[in-house]
Structure 1
Amino acid sequence: MNKKLKLWDATMLVMGSMIGSGIFIVSSDMMRNLGSGYWLIAVWMITGIMTIAAAISYGELSAMFPKAGGQYTYITEIFGKMPGFLYGWGLFTVIQTGTIAAVAMAFGKFTAYLVPALNSQPIFQSGGFKITWIQILAIGIILLLTYINSRGLKNGKILQDVFTSSKIIALLGIIIFGVILVKNSQWAENMSFGWNAFQDFGTDTGNTLEPTTWKSIGGITLLGGIAAAMVGSVFSSVAWENVTFMSGEIENPKKNVVKAMVLGTSVVMVLYLFVNFVYLHALDRNGIAFADNNRPAVAASEVIFGSTGTVIMALLVMVSTFGCINGLVLAGARVFQTMAKDGLFFKSAAENNQNEVPGKSLWMQGSWACLLALSGQYGDLLDMISFIIVLFYMVTVFGVIWMRIKQPNTDRPYKTWLYPITPIIYLLIGSAFCVLLIIFKPQYTWPGFILILIGVPVYWFINRRKSN
């Protein structure tokens, strides 16, 4: 593959893939689960430590296996073809495509702020199934970005650099103006609850947060609430590993991939933390928890900028989601191309088109993402994404330790900083997150297990067909 991506491009891909719609939305649900400014910040900090620890650990594997496919390649090289296929299966069926569909729908919904006609009656409706103009717009954006990326890597790279830079500047603007222009700060009130936790019980008593009733484990009541809140922060902080999918097209991947991951994740998590400071500064806890349509960013923007705040935020989210979709489209197809070369995906996906990019893989990914957006089921699928992604992150991070044990003398151009502390930190936090979700939010976990289990007979069928 041609090495057309520099360190700057790789870093923009990391940051652009991470920053989508989540940071503008998920803090509402997090506040409903925890009800305290202290805990809101604490959960974002836990997620930040977790994310950066994973990126640092992945760096060792990216230097050992500097080729296209990234995480799929790492899992396959370390644990074998079946675990690698199951990751790729999950990536295609829901992780990558479902995220593309969800972020495209977020683009459509925020566009509807500026173009209210998009909220008109459904184009088609039969029972619970309907097709809306927002869905049509989301599908149009997916197809447009798939087409642009099919025309060559340069096009996707330019789009990614421009839109990622724009949304970083816009987020910095929100943070700076959020400090300067808010006249009546809610910070002291939001922090007055200390480490006490409060929860929304979804009753008819109105929008109120009451003392939490999260079950106690070892005398600690909050663990369930923390895990439930982390579903949102984790979802907002994933996709940084997309840069590893592009390793075959990055200059000096043994050094630049790890630099891009660590730098990109660190900057984004700091930005996320400061955006939440703005929420706590501009809005009281009920304003965050019960923001209209779960959009605390819009509510905060109205406080900061007045009546034009909604327009400003809608434009920011449109820029953010557009760039995020481009990064996901750009990177994901490289995994499916690598799987095809290994005989684990549609054979035609292995080919590059005349523009030296995996055109057929791009269109397969885009078509499935469009179907998920059209079906309206992407939201149900995304409920389990954080759980599945963390499971595969844990498998990959454990691979760092496993390779140190099994192949201690193998050349490692980059070694994990503070090994083994860094990967162990991730494994401990990730394990706690997954176990607590199984206990407190099983609906977020068992569908993911089923999805992965379905991949097992598919793998056997593919290998049986190959052997025949």
Structure 2
Amino acid sequence: MTFVALSALEYVVPANVITVAFSAARVNQELAKEGISFPFSNRFWASNWPTGKSPLPGYIIHLIPTIVIIIAPHRRWLILSSWTSRDNPLQVINFAIVVGLFWLRWRRPDIERPFKVWWPVAIFFLAASTFLLVATFLRPANRIGDTPPLPYWLYCIVGIAVLLFGVIYWAGWRVVPRWLGYELVPQKEVLSDGTVVTLSTYKKIQ
């Protein structure tokens, strides 16, 4: 709660960065626990080492860019560009979610749903996501944007590049091995701190 309170202050940027890193550490840990392939071993990244109570390994993943944002020169444009670079991939994901909702309603109307979103809300959400995706590529009136000296379109390209890198990374450990005649076999394992992690091994397809 202290981090949240400090981040509410307008000019306490490091506190806001630390707050994001605090939550991102748990996101990173959950990704490792679900079997998303991380460098080295998922046992380490999914663990609560060294205390057994908090995900320090997940925080380490976020630590390097956090330090860069805090201590780098020209912090204003660096922070603004890092925030805005996040928005574009977020809207792509939001767009994909609502399109998937429409697709499921059309292809699988028989699925039992404990809750159904109201159609006007879904349509509005789709329109808003589409607008935000398109608007980021429109040239601003000052022809510069909010992150000079960087061009206004750069953060959009960076965001899309991050998404594409994620697709390539996923294909590298899920699709390419199948082309080579291997399949991914997931297995559950309980770590010494009680964390349950999914570990995958490659097995030759018979």
Q: Tell me whether the two structures share a fold, i.e. TM-score over 0.5.
A: yes
CA offsets per residue over residues 333-366 of structure 1, 9 Å max, x none? 2221222122333412111233433221022212
CA separation of 1:359 and 1:408: change in aligned 2, threshold 3 A: farther
1:332 to 13, 20, 24: 24
CA offsets per residue over residues 155-203 of structure 1, 9 Å max, x none? xxx4357x28x95xxxxxxxxxxxxxxxxxxxxxxxxxxxxxxxxxxxx
Q: Which residue of 2 aligns with 1:358?
A: 55
Structure 2 gap segments, 5+ residues each: 140-151, 178-200
| Distance (whole Å) between structure 2 residues aligned to residue 401 and residue 389 of structure 1 | 19
CA separation of 1:388 and 1:343: change in aligned 2, threshold 3 A: closer
| Distance (whole Å) between structure 2 residues aligned to residue 388 and residue 375 of structure 1 | 24
Q: Which residue of 1 aligns with 2:65?
A: 368
Larger Rg over CA atoms: 1
The letter of the residue matching 2:158 is P
The letter of the residue matching 2:38 is F
Normalising by structure 1, what TM-score?
0.29
Q: Which residue of 1 aligns with 2:105?
A: 404
2:162 to 434, 445, 451: 451
SS of the aligned residue for 1:343 comes to coil
**Percent pairwise identity:** 18
- Indicate if the aligned counterparts of 1:398 and 1:423 stay in contact, CA closer than 8 A: no
1:432 to 131, 139, 143: 131
The letter of the residue matching 1:332 is A
The letter of the residue matching 2:171 is W
Q: Does 1:386 align with 2:83?
A: no
Matches within 5 A, 1:114-193: 158-159=1-2, 163=5, 167=8
CA offsets per residue over residues 113-168 of structure 1, 9 Å max, x none? xxxxxxxxxxxxxxxxxxxxxxxxxxxxxxxxxxxxxxxxxxxxx4357x28x95x
The letter of the residue matching 2:87 is S
- Indicate if the aligned counterparts of 1:336 and 1:345 stay in contact, CA closer than 8 A: no
| Distance (whole Å) between structure 2 residues aligned to residue 379 and residue 160 of structure 1 | 20
Report the alpha carbon displacement of residue 379 of structure 1 after superposing the two structures with TM. 4.5
SS of the aligned residue for 1:317 comes to coil
Kindly indicate which of the two structures has a greater share of residues assigned to helix.
1
Matches within 5 A, 1:313-324: 316-318=9-11, 322=15, 324=16
CA offsets per residue over residues 427-468 of structure 1, 9 Å max, x none? 112212322333435434223222322333322333457647
| Distance (whole Å) between structure 2 residues aligned to residue 404 and residue 331 of structure 1 | 33
Structure 1 gap segments, 5+ residues each: 1-157, 168-315
1:343 to 15, 32, 36: 36
Q: Which residue of 2 aligns with 1:257?
A: none
- Indicate if the aligned counterparts of 2:14 and 2:70 stay in contact, CA closer than 8 A: no
CA separation of 1:372 and 1:430: change in aligned 2, threshold 3 A: same
